[in-house]
Structure 1
Amino acid sequence: MNKFYEFFAGGGMVNAGLGDEWECLFANDFSEKKRAAYEANWGNDHFVPGDVGRVQLDQLPTQADLAWASFPCQDLSVAGNGAGLKGERSGTFWAFMKLIQQLREDRRKPRIIALENVYGAITSHAGKDFKAIIAALAAEGYRVGGMVIDAVHFVPQSRPRLFVVAVDEALQIPVALDGAQPTAAWHPRAITQAYGRLSKELRNRWVWWNLPTPKARRLTLEDIIEKEPQGVAWHSSDETWNLRRMMSDVNKKKLIEAQQAGRLRVGAVYRRMRNGQQRAEVRFDGVSGCLRTPSGGSSRQTIMVVNGEDVKSRLLSPREAALLMGLDHDYILPEFYTDAYHLAGDGVAVPVVAHLARHIFEPVLAQNQLQLTELPQDLAEAA
């Protein structure tokens, strides 16, 4: 069984994505509310709460095949404060890397490292933060490459995220995974430009990860909407009309077309400021906008359910938010709405983790299994 550490674990969505073939040796998060959710679903025998900067080397058992870190995005996000990796939140990346350095010195560094963050991490500080991330991983003896994977390939939510995967340079990467050039599906222009800004030495350590394209997604927003939602109430007719009045002509036209569709339609609504005026923008393409943490009312996604002339609206329910992240119906959510929505909006999409595990992590480990089991223990740990 493959073994992993889960840093910035939240509610354990990486654990959910990796599945039963993986064993979590260690999980950590600063939030007590997320800790409660994690332990409710995955147990408390391996969870170490608190600041990642206070995690001690002896709290990380044996050697992990994978160390996953979805480190905070606030300082790297386009909507953030621009502090980048020097910020209080996103700067916790360096505390994580200090542990990786200590593990290397202890001859048991993780064989694979996976990082997840917002798209803005690629361009933060004119690309200097991304370059610093790649350089830090390379300095610890890893080959590394970045991808942008949108959760919309798997679930009905538009959620493009940066994924950086690094493999111990002592291990072989299957030929099929190491592409000679970028692919349009996973390496948008921002990634290729970021690669171009790297030094020659770092480019020599770069991997153009060659992921297969998943099968066409069938699940739509209509499929996950609860008829009798828990934790939210339907808006009054006045509240729904206020939303409609906030729509521009373009969005009103979308609503009219949904009413004329002859079937139930579900739209995702966001409130945004446009030219100093609050507007309601709706999409009826079967996909929700990106879930966000509910720091303010506008960040909480509203849905509009349309059946002919009948138009209703309400907030997305906690269970619906969890389903949009790929969690199962039996995942135990926090009791309160804000806590549950925050847990989902701040997480990593479960099926994206599963896709990476199936097509990168597990093939790399399988390719090197003989080497890892036959070497003397001290050399195997150093590999």
Structure 2
Amino acid sequence: MHTFYEFFAGGGMARAGLGSDWQCLFANDISATKGNSYSANWGSDHLAVKDIYDVQARELPGSATMAWGSFPCQDLSLAGDGAGLEGERSGAFWGFWKLMCDLHAEGRKPKMVVLENVFGALTSRDGKDFELIAEAIASQGFLVGAMLIDAIHFLPQSRPRLFIVGVDASLKLPESSHTNTPNPAWHPAAMVRAHNRLTGQAKAAWRWWSVPQQDKPLLTLDRLIEADPQSVKWHSEEETRQLIEMMAPLHRRKVLAAQASKSLRVGTIYKRTRSGVQRAEVRFDGIAGCLRTPGGGSSRQTIMVVHGPNIKSRLISTREAARLMGLPDHYKLPEKYNEAYHLLGDGVVVPVVEHLSHHLLLPIVKLNQPVSHQRNRPSRAA
């Protein structure tokens, strides 16, 4: 079994995606609330709940195969304040990277590092933050590359995320792990531009990591909806009517079209401010909008169920949100709605991690495993 450290662990969704092929040696998150969820699902023996800057290399046991870090996105997000890696929250990356450098100095550098963040990490501060990350990874003897993977290829949620992967330069790479040129499926134009801005060691260390596209049948939103949710209640008729009145004509027509279909249609709604007016915007394409943490101007996602003339609405339930992140129904969620929604909105999509592990991380690890020696056979008597 291969080993890993999980930083900015949240509720352990990266761990859920890595599955039984990987053993977690150490996990860390600054949030006591998230730590409680992690402990409830994975135990607390190897969990340290504290600021990453307070974690010391001596606390990390052994020599892990990989370090995973889903570091905070707020200062890198397109909707953020633009502080980037100089911000208080996203700047926590440097606390993580100091640990990687300390492990390297002790001869315990992980063979791989994986960083997960929002698409804005490619472009924040005109691409300077991505350059700094790539330079930091390359400076410690890693090859470096990135992929933009949208959860929509695995689950009915639109959730593009950036995965930056560093691999020790001494390791052999399977031919399937990378391509000579960017693959449009994982390397959009913004990433090509980010790559072109790199110089020196980071440019030389760059690899176009690649994985096959997901080929399993896709679920639609209606398959994940709870018939009798426990964490939320249905809106009153008046509340649903007010929601429709908040819609611009385009979105009201979407509701009318859903009614005209006469089949059961499930849509999702976000409230957004347009030209100073709060609007309710609905989609009925079988895909949920990106789950976001309830704060910083983001609203919680609303479900609208239309069946002919009948229209009902309510907040998305915490279990439905968990299903949109690929978590099994036995995963234990916080009892308080906002705590559960925040935990999930900050998380990484489980099947995406699973796909990345199966098609990139594990093939690299397995190719570089020592060849087991055959047992010495006893010599036959003359």
Q: Normalized against structure 1, the TM-score is what?
A: 0.96
Residues 293-349 of structure 1: CA deviation (Å, up to 9, x unaligned): 011685200010111110010000000011000000000000100000001000000
* Structure 1 counterpart of 2:265, one-letter code: R
Unpaired segments of 5 or more residues in structure 2? 374-382
Counterpart in the other structure of 2:155 = 155
Query: In the TM superposition, what are the counterparts of 1:251-290 in structure 2 within 5 Å?
Result: 251-290=251-290
The change in CA–CA distance for 1:96 and 1:125 in structure 2 (over 3 A counts) is same
Residues 215-247 of structure 1: CA deviation (Å, up to 9, x unaligned): 154211101110101111111111111111111
Partner Cα distance (1:90, 1:253) in 2: 40
* Structure 1 counterpart of 2:124, one-letter code: S
Partner Cα distance (2:176, 2:235) in 1: 52
Counterpart in the other structure of 2:379 = none
1:153–1:217 CA contact under 8 A, matched in 2: no
Counterpart in the other structure of 1:293 = 293
Partner Cα distance (1:8, 1:296) in 2: 20
Partner Cα distance (2:20, 2:153) in 1: 23
Does 2:196 align with 1:227? no
Counterpart in the other structure of 2:87 = 87
Unpaired segments of 5 or more residues in structure 1? 375-383
Counterpart in the other structure of 2:380 = none
Counterpart in the other structure of 1:208 = 208
Q: By how many angstroms is 1:145 displaced? A: 0.2
* Structure 1 counterpart of 2:287, one-letter code: V
1:262–1:308 CA contact under 8 A, matched in 2: yes
* Structure 1 counterpart of 2:55, one-letter code: V
* Structure 1 counterpart of 2:102, one-letter code: Q
Q: By how many angstroms is 1:174 displaced? A: 0.9
Counterpart in the other structure of 2:27 = 27
Partner Cα distance (2:31, 2:140) in 1: 29
Counterpart in the other structure of 2:188 = 188
Partner Cα distance (2:267, 2:219) in 1: 14
Q: By how many angstroms is 1:260 displaced? A: 1.5
2:153–2:218 CA contact under 8 A, matched in 1: no
Counterpart in the other structure of 2:116 = 116
Q: By how many angstroms is 1:269 displaced? A: 0.3
Q: Secondary structure at the match of 2:90?
A: coil
2:267–2:285 CA contact under 8 A, matched in 1: yes
Counterpart in the other structure of 1:324 = 324
Q: Secondary structure at the match of 2:108?
A: coil
Runs ≥4 in structure 1, deviation > 6 angstroms? Answer: none
* Structure 1 counterpart of 2:262, one-letter code: G
Counterpart in the other structure of 2:313 = 313
The change in CA–CA distance for 1:272 and 1:67 in structure 2 (over 3 A counts) is same
Query: In the TM superposition, what are the counterparts of 1:95-134 in structure 2 within 5 Å?
Result: 95-134=95-134
Query: In the TM superposition, what are the counterparts of 1:159-170 in structure 2 within 5 Å?
Result: 159-170=159-170
Counterpart in the other structure of 1:379 = none
Q: Secondary structure at the match of 1:20?
A: helix
* Structure 1 counterpart of 2:363, one-letter code: P
Partner Cα distance (2:125, 2:344) in 1: 28
* Structure 2 counterpart of 1:321, one-letter code: A
* Structure 2 counterpart of 1:8, one-letter code: F
Counterpart in the other structure of 1:380 = none
1:155–1:217 CA contact under 8 A, matched in 2: no
Q: Normalized against structure 2, the TM-score is what?
A: 0.96
Q: By how many angstroms is 1:101 displaced? A: 0.3
Residues 242-279 of structure 1: CA deviation (Å, up to 9, x unaligned): 11111111111111111122211100101111111111
Partner Cα distance (2:189, 2:364) in 1: 27
Partner Cα distance (1:203, 1:179) in 2: 15
For structure 1, which segment, 170-179 or 301-310, has the greater mean C-alpha deviation from structure 2 after superposition?
170-179
Partner Cα distance (1:129, 1:206) in 2: 16
Q: By how many angstroms is 1:81 displaced? A: 1.1
The change in CA–CA distance for 1:128 and 1:297 in structure 2 (over 3 A counts) is closer
1:3–1:25 CA contact under 8 A, matched in 2: yes
2:135–2:201 CA contact under 8 A, matched in 1: no
Counterpart in the other structure of 2:14 = 14
Q: Secondary structure at the match of 1:6?
A: strand
Does 2:243 align with 1:243? yes
Alpha-carbon RMSD across the aligned residues, in angstroms, is 1.2
Q: Secondary structure at the match of 1:176?
A: helix
Counterpart in the other structure of 2:135 = 135
The change in CA–CA distance for 1:251 and 1:302 in structure 2 (over 3 A counts) is same
* Structure 2 counterpart of 1:369, one-letter code: Q
2:15–2:24 CA contact under 8 A, matched in 1: yes
* Structure 1 counterpart of 2:48, one-letter code: V
The change in CA–CA distance for 1:41 and 1:270 in structure 2 (over 3 A counts) is same
Work out the number of aligned pairs and report it.
373
1:153–1:216 CA contact under 8 A, matched in 2: no
Residues 137-182 of structure 1: CA deviation (Å, up to 9, x unaligned): 0001100101100011111100001100110011111122121000
Partner Cα distance (1:84, 1:366) in 2: 36
1:18–1:357 CA contact under 8 A, matched in 2: yes
Partner Cα distance (1:297, 1:369) in 2: 48
Counterpart in the other structure of 1:338 = 338
2:31–2:50 CA contact under 8 A, matched in 1: yes
Q: By how many angstroms is 1:353 displaced? A: 0.4
Partner Cα distance (1:28, 1:349) in 2: 18
Q: Secondary structure at the match of 2:171?
A: coil
2:156–2:220 CA contact under 8 A, matched in 1: yes
Q: Secondary structure at the match of 2:329?
A: coil
Does 2:189 align with 1:173? no
* Structure 1 counterpart of 2:135, one-letter code: A
